[in-house]
Amino acid sequence: MFMFKRIVEANLSDHEIHIFEQHNKLGAGMPYSKFGASKEHITNVSDNEIPEIKTHVKEWISNVPSEVLHKYDMEQIKLNEYKVLPRLLFGEYLTGQFDLLLEEARKTGIHTEIHYKIRVIDIVDLESAHKVRVEVSGGEKFTFDKVIICTGHCFPTDREDKLSGWYDSPYPPEKLAQNINYEVAIRGASLTAIDAVRTLARANGNFSTNLDGSYTYALKNNRNDFKIVLHSLGGLLPSMRFHLEESQPDPSSLFSDEEMKIIMADNNGFIPLDYVFDKNFRKVLSQKRPHLYNAIEGKSMEQFIDFMMDKRLNKETFELFKEEYNEAEVSIIEHDPIVWKETLTELSYVVNYCVKHFSAEDMIRFKKTLHPLIAIIIAFVPQSSARELLALHDAGLLDLVKVDKESSVSPSPLGGCIYTYVDSHGQLVEKHYAMFIDALGQKPFFFNQLPFQGLINRDVMSPAYLRFEEAENAQNEIQSGNKDVVRVTSGDYLLQLPGISINDYFQPLNQYGVASQRLYVMAVPYISGLNPDYSGLDFCEVASGKIIQKLSAD
Ligand SMILES: Cc1cc2nc3c(=O)[nH]c(=O)nc-3n(C[C@H](O)[C@H](O)[C@H](O)COP(=O)(O)OP(=O)(O)OC[C@H]3O[C@@H](n4cnc5c(N)ncnc54)[C@H](O)[C@@H]3O)c2cc1C
């Protein structure tokens, strides 16, 4: 939708646009339709945090019939621009926005054809003809000058199709709405896990609201053995939504092409992680809150992160979660941002578009240190989800277990899984659960897992990698067992990453580093190695903006 919006705004009336959608609806995509949400699922962004489309959500919602709002228990909610929305309702909004864009395209003379219920099954780059062939379900073939791949999320069901009590993801969520009278294991403890918890909890009990706004949970009859156990590597729950001073990330904070060129020229062809941390975290914090800055002055990025992580790891998980909930409530009520968290969010927005110019050394540092902290902080758990988790925990029905890196989950002959891990006392645990839900979120895809066979061709696309700055660092990584480090025929050492190589304009790069002139990829699972943090609406806005710059110039 954001790509189409850019095309309409750029008034590309000399282009003919074809949109292929495997389902019968535009705009809602996976997260905001029945494929990724049920009634109980909510967005983690509010009206004021949504990049502008055509109409503000608030204005749109004032015209939504009351029966529809009633379906989502919305009549009691005093709507304002700071409220999050049920995802399915948000999907209706997005579909409505797509219709408005189509209307505008029609008026401005951009010929647009929508192919509903048509699945693209292959894409082939026709080098000599300077064209791209698109093959669709039903056998038809189309030929285009350019193709933009926006196929979005993909949650395969390989094991779930064959195993009982095993779910490769919580999507589509309606499959989890079952009567359950046993313990359920969830791998992961972030937003995807929370989606699963919300569905399981509603199917097996009810929440009621207390006078102080907290919730109490009561099980339905005959579900006395129902319990959910989250399993997480860090042993932490994600952070809460809070009030943001800047409701949307500022695109002007992203490095311009010119700025990137200068930084890279000064740094052996790389953008150093420390440079970005200094400019987009340290300096920003020193201006916004000098007293907070004093606490980190002189600390390296690693020391700062250890300091923030230690503060979290030294507390009991749900106690910390409750504290953060209270802090976020105050922030929202008083419109008072939590400055260090907001600055970290802004940093992660900028870092995402610099990663492709990191050295392999910095990528390894980023993955070990900054990325885990960012992942916790920018999850933005909605307040009502937090109240539900706390109520379930208070009722003794939700636990979180910290597992080790070597932990594993395997299918059990009895159905469900055997979870094997070393617990916090160093004891090996092997536990059977009758139901297992994998909630690690969108998993990255590797080059040879691309769904379009025609593109698994190294003259068109190639696997993502980053170069090492120093051979010695690569050799040390190899010695310490890092299997992602390889030495290529040129003698260079590379760090292999998931997904494909792309440039700043989301054009895939072939094995010689040459950008495709006909293809663009903004489907997150296929570019996640070089685009590690973002899949949200602001990513859609930035990526489509970069692509249109190239498209309009051609
Ligand atoms: C469960 C979930 C909840 C989320 N919640 C939020 C949130 O609250 N806030 C936020 O900012 N971000 C959220 N996100 C991030 C989300 O990625 C983006 O907001 C956005 O939906 C991504 O849009 P997309 O079009 O790239 O992908 P998608 O929404 O996945 O859409 C891809 C579309 O392509 C179609 N398609 C796929 N393959 C084919 C094919 N071969 N042929 C034809 N059509 C095809 C699909 O049917 C779908 O309509 C969430 C993500 C998930 C998974």
Say what the pLDDT of residue 76 is: 47
Mean of the per-residue pLDDT values of the chain: 94
Pocket mutation for ligand 1, best pick of 5, 25, 26, 30 (most atoms within 8 Å of C-beta): 30
Residue nearest (by alpha carbon) to ligand 1 atom 41: 120
Nearest Cα to Cα of residue 238 among 376, 442, 371, 390? 376
Say what the pLDDT of residue 111 is: 96
Q: 6 C-alpha to center of ligand 1: Å?
A: 18
CA 1 to ligand 1: nearest atom: 25
Residue 101, CA distances (Å) to 233, 438, 443 in order: 43, 37, 31
Q: 333 C-alpha to center of ligand 1: Å?
A: 31
Each as own residue / partner, the long-range contacts of residues 415-424 (CB below 8 Å, 24 or more positions apart, any chain) are 415/163, 415/164, 415/165, 415/166, 416/164, 416/165, 416/166, 416/185, 417/165, 417/166, 417/185, 419/185, 419/231, 421/231, 424/235
Residue nearest (by alpha carbon) to ligand 1 atom 26: 152
Other Cβ atoms closer than 10 A to 426? 7
* Ligand 1 pocket, Cβ-based, cut-off 6 angstroms: 20-23, 29-31, 36, 43-45, 119-120, 150-153, 442, 535-537, 540
Nearest Cα to Cα of residue 231 among 376, 403, 373? 403
Residue nearest (by alpha carbon) to ligand 1 atom 1: 31
Which of 73-77, 166-170, 245-249, 343-347 shows the lowest per-residue confidence on average (mean pLDDT)? 73-77
Pocket mutation for ligand 1, best pick of 151, 169, 544 (most atoms within 8 Å of C-beta): 151
Q: Provide the greatest CA pair distance for the chain.
A: 70
Q: 30 C-alpha to center of ligand 1: Å?
A: 4
Residue nearest (by alpha carbon) to ligand 1 atom 12: 536
Alpha-helical runs (H) found in 280-354: 283-288, 290-296, 301-313, 317-333, 339-354
Residue 327 pLDDT exceeds 60: yes
Residue nearest (by alpha carbon) to ligand 1 atom 24: 152
Q: 420 C-alpha to center of ligand 1: Å?
A: 33
Residues paired with 438 in a beta bridge: 187
The angle subtended at Cα 445 by Cα 443 and Cα 450, nearest 5°, is: 145
Helix (H) or strand (E) holding 138: none
Lateral strand order in the sheet of 485-487? 463-467, 493-500, 485-487
Using only C-alpha atoms, what is the Rg of the chain? 24
Each as own residue / partner, the long-range contacts of residues 126-132 (CB below 8 Å, 24 or more positions apart, any chain) are 127/459, 127/460, 130/517, 130/518, 131/518, 132/518, 132/519
Residue nearest (by alpha carbon) to ligand 1 atom 34: 151
Q: 126 C-alpha to center of ligand 1: Å?
A: 28
Residue nearest (by alpha carbon) to ligand 1 atom 48: 29
Q: 464 C-alpha to center of ligand 1: Å?
A: 22
Say what the pLDDT of residue 79 is: 58
User: Can you point out the beta strands (E) in 173-240?
Assistant: 183-187, 205-209, 215-219, 227-232
Residue written as tokens 């390296």? 300
Say what the pLDDT of residue 63 is: 87
Q: 524 C-alpha to center of ligand 1: Å?
A: 9
Distance (Å, whole) CA 425 – CA 422: 8
Q: 499 C-alpha to center of ligand 1: Å?
A: 17
Pocket mutation for ligand 1, best pick of 537, 542, 544 (most atoms within 8 Å of C-beta): 537
CA 90 to ligand 1: nearest atom: 8
Say what the pLDDT of residue 499 is: 96
CA 25 to ligand 1: nearest atom: 49
Q: 22 C-alpha to center of ligand 1: Å?
A: 13
Say what the pLDDT of residue 317 is: 94
Residues paired with 430 in a beta bridge: 420
CA 49 to ligand 1: nearest atom: 11
Residue 415 pLDDT exceeds 90: yes
Q: 87 C-alpha to center of ligand 1: Å?
A: 12
Helix (H) or strand (E) holding 113: strand 111-116
483-519 pLDDT, tens digit each: 999 999 989 999 999 999 999 999 999 999 999 999 9
Pocket mutation for ligand 1, best pick of 153, 348, 380, 385 (most atoms within 8 Å of C-beta): 153
CA 522 to ligand 1: nearest atom: 26
Q: What is the dihedral of CA 217, 221, 223, 227, to 10 degrees?
A: 10
CA 2 to ligand 1: nearest atom: 25
Q: 115 C-alpha to center of ligand 1: Å?
A: 18
Nearest Cα to Cα of residue 229 among 434, 397, 385? 397
Q: 31 C-alpha to center of ligand 1: Å?
A: 5
Q: 512 C-alpha to center of ligand 1: Å?
A: 31
Q: 526 C-alpha to center of ligand 1: Å?
A: 13
Please state the pTM of the whole predicted model. 0.95
- Which is it for strands 417-422 and 120-126: parallel, antiparallel or unpaired? unpaired
Residues paired with 554 in a beta bridge: none
CA 154 to ligand 1: nearest atom: 30
CA 20 to ligand 1: nearest atom: 43
Nearest Cα to Cα of residue 233 among 363, 390, 399, 406? 406
Residues paired with 149 in a beta bridge: 521
Residue 59, CA distances (Å) to 42, 47, 260, 269 in order: 19, 10, 39, 48
Q: 540 C-alpha to center of ligand 1: Å?
A: 10
Say what the pLDDT of residue 75 is: 58
Which of 203-212, 303-312, 352-361, 415-424 shows the lowest per-residue confidence on average (mean pLDDT)? 303-312
SS3 (DSSP) at 28: coil
CA 42 to ligand 1: nearest atom: 8
420-441 pLDDT, tens digit each: 999 989 999 999 999 999 999 9
159-177 pLDDT, tens digit each: 999 999 999 999 999 999 9
Q: 411 C-alpha to center of ligand 1: Å?
A: 29
Residue nearest (by alpha carbon) to ligand 1 atom 31: 29
What are phi and psi for residue 49, nearest 5 degrees?
-100, 0
13-36 pLDDT, tens digit each: 999 999 999 999 999 999 999 999
76-135 pLDDT, tens digit each: 455 555 678 999 999 999 999 999 999 999 999 999 999 999 999 999 999 999 999 999
